Amino acid sequence: MIIVLLVQFILHFIDQRNVELKNKVYLYLPQGQAEILPWRETLWAPAHHGELVLEGDRLKIAQSSRGVLRFYDETTVRLDSLTDMSIDTIDADSSEDNIRLHLNSGRLWANVVPSDYVSTNFLIETDHLRITSSGGIFEISSINNESVRVIKDQVSVEVLDRSGEREVVLEQIKIGVGQEIDLTPDTLETMIARQPVNILAAVSDSWKLTDWYGWNIQEDLEPTIYVSTNTNTKPAQVSVSEETPAEVDVINSVPDLAPDLVPVVTIISPEENPYFLSSGEQAISIRGSTTPNTVKVTVTSYDTAGQIFNYVLQQYQAGEESWTYHAAISYGNLHEGRNLFSIVAENESGIKSKPVSMIVEVETKIEEIQSTTEGNNTETAAVLTKPMVLSLNNELLPENGVYETAAEGVTIMGSVSSVASKVFVNDYQLTKFTAGSGVWTYYLKSEFLNYEPGTNVYQVYAEDAKGNKSEILKFEVYRETP
């Protein structure tokens, strides 16, 4: 009998210990700074890398910064720059996990890991959306519009009217892989008026070109391992006004990064990518940020013949968290048409960051083709050139035209003439390509039957509105087998 009671006591202790651990969430700061408003407090304080956050806390990620929330079950929520989020509920026990967050503004990326042992109820709200997931990967944004995009599995979304005394559910939507909803103020008014409107669409290709998307995809494939450094106490509070956080001189609470930690480099401006220079402009400044363990930043550019030029930023000093690169036609590193710049940070051990890319479009003088008609009229036409590959999983296509990888999927980004109205890969028309955009994207996956172990050959060509075909671009992707 005593042994039975002892076993029950031990099991109860273990169960309680697991529950205690499951109700702990840690905040990590891979880049920049953040502030925290603890529950029932009125003063904001600097948030620390590896800090324990609790139910009722509110977080603000600073400009040019990013945060990561790591839960007990490896569920991860990544917060982008200028994101404001509240942790409403962390309630986990031996039978159920209930997490409830509120995205006040900004954007987040959630990778919710389903449990084999308990039910998972992961809920995130914005002003007018309630998103529920039991497992999957999705992004939520609340900036000008409120949007949800699903990368893996599916989520349930309720569109809410909170203008009256009672909350009203206007619509319930299931969002699957590759789908998104975008709720604008006008769309919300239409739904409140009970008028029919469809807000479900395919995820836009332009979103997949953003640095935010690339960083999160990379983190989901190869998650950064964080170590908690402050698990038991809250930091001392400082007087930080919620109304004017930008005016307060907040101390740098991010500890020195280990030399061998992979640096992270991002582009801050221009915000648009691709970026189109205004007519007459002949120069641009690209600005970004990097982690404090960076000692060198290198920018790779290409001339009109495709020749590669690597330039180490001379004004950048080791340890600085910002960098600037100037390109101009007079410098020789900017030319008419499409310009690709690839930026890489490097630490003192020679470890390089994942490259980030910036595309700059400079207005091209249209090549005139004179064609004489009976009336001696002259018409001007743009040349339809061979498509180009800009990157494969954010890496450059080798000079031999063969890209080798063991990745389960490959995202190919390319460029094409502005007169192209259609783009084909192995005679398959890219339905998401927008005529005149000059940018195309193609995805390789086994389930698409276009990505097999070994050598895969791809041929890309474009067509203009008259049906004229461009020269064919041919390249290979060699998929390594485990």
What single-letter amino acid sits at 249?
D
Q: Say how far residue 443 (Cα) sits from the centre of its chain.
A: 17
Tell me, what's the pLDDT at 257? 43
Q: By three-state DSSP, how is residue 214 classified?
A: helix
What tokens does 153 get? 């599995």
Q: Are 194 and 171 in contact (CB under 8 A)?
A: no
The pLDDT confidence band at residue 379, using thresholds 50, 70 and 90, is very low
CATH architecture, range 388-479:
Sandwich (2.60)
According to DSSP, the residues that pair with 261 across neighbouring strands are none
| Of the candidate ranges 16-20, 91-95, 428-432, the one whose mean pLDDT is the lowest | 16-20
Q: Are 112 and 220 in contact (CB under 8 A)?
A: no
**pLDDT at residue 301 is higher than 90:** no
Tell me, what's the pLDDT at 20? 42
User: What is the fold of 257-362?
Assistant: Immunoglobulin-like (2.60.40)
Residue with the larger pLDDT of the pair 301 and 172? 172
Residue with the larger pLDDT of the pair 466 and 239? 466
Tell me, what's the pLDDT at 14? 38
Query: Would you say the CATH fold of 388-479 matches that of 2-221?
Result: no
Tell me, what's the pLDDT at 277? 85
Residue 64: partners with Cβ closer than 8 Å, 6 or more residues away: 31, 32, 81, 266, 268, 289, 321, 322
The mean pLDDT value for 462-467 works out to 91
CB atoms within 10 A of CB 318: 12
What single-letter amino acid sits at 181?
I
Distance CA 470, CA 347 (A): 43
361-372 pLDDT per residue, tens: 887 654 433 333
213-229 pLDDT per residue, tens: 988 988 888 788 775 54
204-262 pLDDT per residue, tens: 888 888 889 988 988 888 788 775 544 333 333 333 333 333 333 333 333 344 445 78
The mean pLDDT value for 305-329 works out to 83
Give the CA diameter of the chain.
110
Tell me, what's the pLDDT at 1? 59
Q: Are 438 and 416 in contact (CB under 8 A)?
A: yes
CA angle, 199 as apex, 194 and 205 as ends, to 5°?
A: 170
Whether cis (ω within 30° of 0) applies to the bond prior to 270 is yes
The mean pLDDT value for 284-308 works out to 83
Distance CA 236, CA 268 (A): 31
Nearest one of 304, 282, 462 to 363, comparing CA atoms: 282
**pLDDT at residue 460 is higher than 90:** yes
Tell me, what's the pLDDT at 243? 36
pLDDT over 90 percentage in the chain: 33
Sign (positive/negative) of CA torsion 328, 329, 330, 332? positive
Mean pLDDT, the chain, rounded, equals 80
Residue with the larger pLDDT of the pair 280 and 191? 191
128-178 pLDDT per residue, tens: 999 999 899 999 999 989 999 999 999 999 999 998 888 999 999 999 999
What single-letter amino acid sits at 27?
L
Residue 57: partners with Cβ closer than 8 Å, 6 or more residues away: 36, 37, 38, 39, 86, 87
Distance CA 361, CA 351 (A): 31
328-361 pLDDT per residue, tens: 887 778 888 878 888 989 998 888 887 788 888 8
84-140 pLDDT per residue, tens: 999 998 886 656 778 999 999 999 999 998 877 677 789 999 999 999 998 999 999
Q: Are 224 and 30 in contact (CB under 8 A)?
A: yes
* Domains in the chain: boundaries: 2-221, 257-362, 388-479
**pLDDT at residue 407 is higher than 70:** yes
226, with CB counted inside 10 A (0-12, 13-18, 19+), is middle
Q: Are 383 and 417 in contact (CB under 8 A)?
A: yes
Tell me, what's the pLDDT at 223? 81
CATH architecture, range 2-221:
Sandwich (2.60)
Tell me, what's the pLDDT at 356? 83
Tell me, what's the pLDDT at 365? 58
- CA within 13 Å, CB half, 15: 10
Tell me, what's the pLDDT at 233? 39
Q: Which DSSP letter does residue 395 get? A: B
